[in-house]
Amino acid sequence: MTATIINGVGVAAKVREECRERVKRIVAQSGTPPGLAVILVGSDAASQVYVRNKIRACAEVGIRSFRYDYLPDVDPGVVIDKIEELNQVPAVHGILVQLPLPPSFDIARILRAISVDKDVDGFHLYNVGGLVAGGTVFPPCTPYGVVKLLEHERIPIEGKNVVVVGASNIVGKPMALMLMQHEATVCICHAKTKDLAQFTILADILIVAAGRPNLILPQMVRTGAVVIDVGINRLKDGRLVGDVDFDGVAEKASYITPVPGGVGPMTVSMLLVNTIASCERWLQPPVQSAAARMPLLVTPN
Ligand code: NAP
């Protein structure tokens, strides 16, 4: 079997085209575009690139962006004050704090400062809780992008055995929860899992987000499985690779995502989707009850 290679660049481009249309409708209705505020602390090279890409993607679809840069030794209180100010700014519909933060920062405290109504990264405890309870959330962008890719390829999720390798708060855990909401049977593996292969071999859909090149070898994959590689690793020779032995596994899998060009492009696109969805929600007619102001349900569509 030779796998179909899932073209994340192409799907992401389609999502952005839909974003452009939605932004046009918003501007026609309200006169102003959606707005995303991006906060970057420190000068981590990868974070600089990610922030630049996010801001460029906003411009591509007509979202207004607001960028705030801080030195690594800034007092965390200054950043929290800025977040609280942005929570009140009507032109800002989404607030994103680029991770990782310097060690002096209490990340949970920073993320909690973001209004749940503007938490387009989906990392606030309220949104995390919503994901657990199967309720109303902004889906975290990377797992949201994976679900979108599966849906685009019309790969059924319901009733499938899904194995997620990686249990981080930003990828592995929300990924597992989102697929449980899609009625999959989900197993999560992590660095302390004994004999990883005994789990991965059972997967109809294998999602790998560990940050370890060549972690998944062909003998660990069931023939015909769908393999989604979230990992991004820079090798010593400068090459960018995922966590999966792409060439070997592509011989066994039915579908596989490449790195680069698979999940990566989807992450930024889903950030745009969440920002637009937030803006659309703010434009809804005023409502009376506090309950109706709860964060919106963003369904993968
Ligand atoms: P992370 O916070 O470092 O978490 C890595 C997870 O993988 C942890 O749960 C860890 O287990 C587990 N793990 C590590 N080594 C393992 C092993 N040998 N076997 C099984 N599990 C193992 O990383 P992350 O932020 O989730 O990111 C994971 C990867 O995805 C990275 O390569 C990152 O660059 C990439 N990423 C890509 C995108 C995208 O848009 N494509 C977005 C975000 C992240 P423990 O919990 O036991 O430590």
Check residue 285 and give its pLDDT: 64
- Give the mean model confidence (pLDDT) for residues 289-296: 43
Among residues 117, 119, 121, 204, the one annotated as catalytic is 121
To the nearest whole percent, how much of the chain has pLDDT over 90? 91
To the nearest whole percent, how much of the chain has pLDDT over 70? 94
Residue 286, pLDDT > 70, answer: no
258 lines ligand 1 (CB under 6 A): no
Residue 124, pLDDT > 50, answer: yes
CA dihedral 233, 239, 245, 250 (to 10 degrees): 120
Average pLDDT over the chain, rounded to whole?
93
278 lines ligand 1 (CB under 6 A): no
Helices marked H in the chain: 8-30, 45-61, 76-87, 107-113, 125-133, 141-152, 172-181, 196-200, 246-250, 264-283
Calpha distance 56→196 (Å, rounded): 39
Residue 117, pLDDT > 70, answer: yes
Check residue 296 and give its pLDDT: 44
Which of 192, 232, 271, when mutated, tests ligand 1's pocket best, judged by the most ligand atoms within 8 Å of its CB?
A: 232
Check residue 295 and give its pLDDT: 45
- Give the strand order in the sheet containing 255-256: 4-5, 255-256, 226-229, 205-208, 161-165, 185-189
Check residue 135 and give its pLDDT: 74
Distances (CA, A) of 39 to 22, 110, 177: 25, 11, 27
pLDDT digits (tens, 9 = 90+) for 138-195: 999 999 999 999 999 999 999 999 999 999 999 999 999 999 999 999 999 999 999 9
Q: Which helix (H) or strand (E) holds 205?
A: strand 205-208
Residue 223, pLDDT > 60, answer: yes
Residue 67, pLDDT > 60, answer: yes
Check residue 298 and give its pLDDT: 46
Check residue 284 and give its pLDDT: 83
Check residue 33 and give its pLDDT: 98
Residue 290, pLDDT > 60, answer: no
Q: Which is the closest atom of ligand 1 to the Cα of 192?
A: 47
Calpha distance 52→32 (Å, rounded): 23
Measured CA angle at 279 (ends 278, 284), to 5 deg: 100
Check residue 134 and give its pLDDT: 83
Residue 255 backbone dihedrals phi, psi, to 5 degrees? -135, 150
The pTM score is 0.94
Calpha distance 301→139 (Å, rounded): 12
CB 47 within 8 A of CB 40: yes
Check residue 292 and give its pLDDT: 42
74: left (phi over 0), alpha (psi -120 to 50) or beta: beta
Calpha distance 257→267 (Å, rounded): 14
Residue 26, pLDDT > 90, answer: yes
Residue 300, pLDDT > 90, answer: no
The pair of structure tokens assigned to 5 is: 């290679």
Which of 168, 192, 212, 266, when mutated, tests ligand 1's pocket best, judged by the most ligand atoms within 8 Å of its CB?
A: 168
Going by the DSSP 8-state scheme, the letter that residue 183 receives in this structure is: T
Residue 291, pLDDT > 80, answer: no
